[in-house]
Amino acid sequence: MSEDWLDCIRWTREGLAPVIVQEVNTGQVLMLAWMNREALSRTLALGEAVYWSRSRGRLWRKGETSGHVQKIRDIRLDCDNDALLLKVEQIGEIACHTGRASCFFQRLEHGDWRSTEPVLKEPNGIYGS
């Protein structure tokens, strides 16, 4: 397959693009991640999300340790070709390393961030202690 579709994307100077990850069944926004060309290419080939970890400086197959993989259902690009939207089936119903469904669990209330979403599974139970 031609890689023209990868060339359409306006990657940052670092070769990355932000990726919004949304649960296809619930509509919940799960996380914001980053991809480079290789991550997106592998995601398509594998049918499961592979990101670029900026903190670890390496490709990161989502769920490689936790088992909470993300099955790809839809890949979208925005109008100025510099942001991606993945619709995924979130296996295990947990996307966040804190054991919550979504990484966006801090809500602005009365001038402060409050944690609002339940921890579905303790991180020690996900990753080992």
Instruction: Write out the residues near a copy of itself by the rule CB under 8 A.
Output: 1-2, 4-5, 8, 18, 20, 22, 27-29, 31-32, 44, 74-81, 83, 85, 96-98, 100, 103-108, 111-113
**Residue 64 vs 78, nearer CB to a copy of itself:** 78
Which two structure tokens, joined as six digits, stand for 113? 């961030």
Q: How far is the CB of 119 from a copy of itself (least distance, A)?
A: 12
Q: How far is the CB of 42 from a copy of itself (least distance, A)?
A: 14
Give first-to-last CA distance, the chain, whole Å: 43
Q: How far is the CB of 2 from a copy of itself (least distance, A)?
A: 6
C-alpha distances (whole Å) from 121 to each of 12, 28, 63, 116 are: 35, 18, 15, 15
DSSP state string for 65-80: TTS--EEEEEEEE-TT
DSSP state string for 11-28: --TTS-EEEEEEETTT--
Q: How far is the CB of 31 from a copy of itself (least distance, A)?
A: 7
Distance from C-alpha of 40 to C-alpha of 57, rounded to nearest angstrom = 16
